[in-house]
Amino acid sequence: MDTLAAPLTIAFDYTRSLGPVLGRFMAGLRERRVLGARTSDGRVHVPPLEYDPVTHEPVTDLVEVSPTGTVVSWTWNPRPVEGQPLDRPFGWALIRLDGADTPLLHAVDAEDLNTGMRVRIRWSAQRTGHIRDIACFEPGESDISEISEEFEPVEIMTTPIRLHYQHTTSAEEDRYLRALEQGRIIGQRCPACRKVYVPPRVCPADGVAPDEVVEVADRGMVTTFCVVNVPFAGQRLTPPYVVAQVLLDGADIPISHLILGVEAADVRMGMRVAAVWRDRSRWSTTPENIDHFEPTGEPDAPYESYGEHL
């Protein structure tokens, strides 16, 4: 049987501080102008380098090159994916712009792409001083107009990144989740150190797969905890809340969970707590079947009973 799997998307709008060289390059794009960097050997690099690879000195000499160039080499992309410059089949090409000595990699919107083809930049309608101001290349020549004034460098560029994964569980995690779907908490015992891991996993200390399945209680003790008072990016609960290490009876390693039903200030190390399950109709293969833990009212566990789990 396949183990449980689900999609995971990670996305963030990263920023790029551009510095003086790339900042001028991006500002140029906004004005439909392409700047290259001239290095000590006289070569013009597009996109510009910030530091000379030969002398290692900062590059200061930026020169304008043509928005028209020649395809040096290319490959065909029959199935574009999310985030690429074009949403229909296109060519990826190395293009040496007139006046530049190094080729630039970009998309060419042409069905009969070939080496030596003359191509020009197709500018984006909205230009903001961003690498995406170049939409792609297309066959043809550009008109070269007058060189304009020096422009203020762009300081920051936003570059959203989105990653799609398929998250697949291990055999041990799968077994644990399917038990949770039935309202049970299981661990597995390491055959070497005999410790019961909840959730079960390959023993991190011995590096061996666990064998014996052990059902553990849905109650235990708080070993240690944190009162979260601070909001932060990615947070899904509203502070303040208590995240505790809960050592379930029968387990040898604590799990992290929420403690509710008690003032945060009254949570104690050694406090006895029990799982509060969601309504049975909502159970599925998720640790969220346990909504939180609450104090049981039993006497606190003595320090000696959890001191080795801190």
Which one of 94, 131, 135, 253 is in contact with another protein (CB under 8 A)? 253
Binding mask 139-168 for another protein (x = CB under 8 A): ----------------xx--x-x-----x-
Stretch touching another protein by CB under 8 A, among 28-36, 49-57, 66-74, 86-94:
49-57
Give the contacts of 274 (CB within 8 A, at least 6 positions apart).
218, 219, 293, 294, 296
Give the contacts of 271 (CB within 8 A, at least 6 positions apart).
221, 222, 259, 295, 300, 301
CB of 290 to another protein, least distance (A): 8
Interaction between residue 214 and another protein (CB under 8 A):
no
User: Residue count at the site for another protein (CB under 8 A)?
Assistant: 74
Which one of 2, 75, 230, 279 is in contact with another protein (CB under 8 A)? 230
Interaction between residue 233 and another protein (CB under 8 A):
yes
CB of 5 to another protein, least distance (A): 8
Stretch touching another protein by CB under 8 A, among 65-73, 121-129, 143-151, 201-209:
201-209
Which one of 56, 79, 88, 280 is in contact with another protein (CB under 8 A)? 56
Q: Which long-range contacts (CB under 8 A, 24 or more apart) does 288-292 make?
A: 289/180, 289/181, 289/183, 290/180, 290/218, 290/257, 291/258, 291/260, 292/257, 292/258, 292/259, 292/260, 292/261
In angstroms, the CA 246 to CA 151 distance is 60
CB of 286 to another protein, least distance (A): 6
CB of 172 to another protein, least distance (A): 12
Structure token pair of residue 138:
């297309």
In angstroms, the CA 286 to CA 180 distance is 7
In angstroms, the CA 28 to CA 129 distance is 7
Query: What CA–CA distances, in Å, run from 226 to 84, 199, 229, 236, 253?
Result: 44, 21, 9, 16, 17
Residues 62-101 that bind another protein (CB under 8 A): none
CB of 246 to another protein, least distance (A): 11
Which one of 237, 261, 282, 296 is in contact with another protein (CB under 8 A)? 237
